[in-house]
Structure 1
Amino acid sequence: MSLIQKIHHVAYRCKDAKETVEWYEKHLGIMFVLAIAENEVPSTKAPDPYMHVFLDAGNGNVLAFFELPGQPPMGRDTNTPEWVQHLALKVDSVDTLLTTKARLEAEGIEVLGPTNHTIFKSIYFFDPNGHRLELAADCGTPGMMQKLDAVKREMLDEWSRTRRAPSHAAWMHDGTYA
């Protein structure tokens, strides 16, 4: 049994709290639910003014951002490829995914995809802070999910030994699932 009940919130840094809230409201329909501002960090007592905003991403999932005007400009981990660090958000259908892609592109937001991962399809884009977002629509069958579940430990063990991609789930991208 897991100690964890659910993710309380996930926090990222932002360049401008107001711009970030308005962007997520406008483009993803995510509601602004809470703001906390302090001149001192509660956990460390460091003098570091911040605005901490919380957005309702649905089903009790909370996405939060910190604006930190006293810190150097935000950057990204340059040793990690841009595609790795991202936040994936689930949508209800592939139709919603495609409609959202068209709407985002009409607003001038560059969108990659949809990418077919067999068990889900995704689109990718960046928020105004440079955070990569993924919207994903599940489309896997119970059989596909069972097939993946059956090999997950073997795949992890093989990866741990070889640091090469195991082929147990190659069917997800090579079109051989039957």
Structure 2
Amino acid sequence: MTVPFELSRIHHVAYRCKDAKETVEWYERMLGMRFKSAFSEDKVPSTGEDDPYMHVFLDCGGGNVLAFFELPGQPGMDRDRNTPLWVQHLAFEVPDYEALLAAKDHLVAHGVEVLGPTFHGVFKSIYFFDPNGHRVELACNIGTDDQYAELARVAPLMLDEWSRTKRAPRHAAWLHKEPES
């Protein structure tokens, strides 16, 4: 299927936060993001609703932007109780395994509970929560060009099988076997 336009990148991804200042400071201190800008209105521009908000934007590298809304006039934050905690998360890439381990050490030294590193076949990652309860993942790629090509080749097969069976296809079973050191 073709569309009459082309996407160039994600402009930003937005989540809700409990406290905009605390959130900006945490992402700066814990992940080295740069606070780019903020917008604040008493009325929502797209709907005209009276709903004061602070919208903050953080540079997370590579032209990517992570944004948050603080909404003091809305009920307290909650999450989708029908979705497991591990599903919805923000994932950021670090350059290599050494950087992943350095990030883990940094986070732990600042009192953040970190899970991992976890092996995912073509990447390894660590997991933790931000002060708003959002799960965050840092990942480093470890796969080879051949492995990524094989994953691209079997992706349609895996999706078709999943659609029929709702069971994990094993077209890339090698992903689940960590190589021995």
Q: What TM-score results when the alignment is normalised by the length of structure 1?
A: 0.96
**More displaced stretch, 127-136 vs 167-176:** 167-176
Fraction of identical pairs, as percent: 64
| 2:23 is the alignment partner of 1:20 | yes
Which residue of 1 is the match for residue 136 of structure 2? Answer: 133
Unaligned residue ranges in structure 1 (runs of 5+): none
Q: Secondary structure at the match of 1:156?
A: helix
2-side partners of 1:76 and 1:172: how far apart?
Answer: 31
Distance 2:137 2:39 in 1: 27
Match of 1:146 among 141, 144, 149: 149
Q: How does 1:88-107 map to 2 (within 5 A)?
A: 88-107=91-110
1:78 maps to 2:81: yes
Partner of 2:36: 33
Residues 146-165 of structure 1 deviation map (CA, whole Å, 9 limit, x = unaligned): 11111110000000111111
**Which one-letter code corresponds to 2:101 in the other structure?**
L
Distance in 1, Cα, partners of 2:32 & 2:96? 16
Distance, in Å, in 2 between the alignment partners of 1:118 and 1:153 is 18
Aligned equivalent of 2:57: 54
Q: CA deviation at 1:175?
A: 4.2
Cα distance in 2 for residues equivalent to 1:117 and 1:27? 24
Asked if 1 retains the 8 angstrom alpha-carbon contact of 2:123 and 2:139, the reply is yes
Alignment partner, residue 43 of structure 1: 46
> In the comparison of the two structures, how many residue pairs are matched?
176
3-state SS, counterpart of residue 110 of structure 1: coil
Q: Which portions of structure 1, spanning 4 or more consecutive aligned residues, are displaced by more than 2 angstroms?
A: none
Distance of 1:174 and 1:167 partners within structure 2: 12
Alignment of 1:151-170 (within 5 A): 151-170=154-173
Checking the alignment, whether the CA contact within 8 Å between 2:119 and 2:178 is kept in structure 1 is: no
Report whether the alignment pairs 1:4 with 2:7.
yes
Question: C-alpha offsets along residues 110-162 of structure 1, whole Å, 9 cap, x if unaligned?
Answer: 00000011201000000000000000001100111111111110000000111
Aligned partners of 2:35, 2:103: CA distance in 1, in Å? 20
C-alpha separation in 1, matches of 2:154 and 2:103: 34
Do residues 64 (structure 1) and 67 (structure 2) align? yes
Task: Give the aligned CA root-mean-square deviation in angstroms.
Answer: 1.1
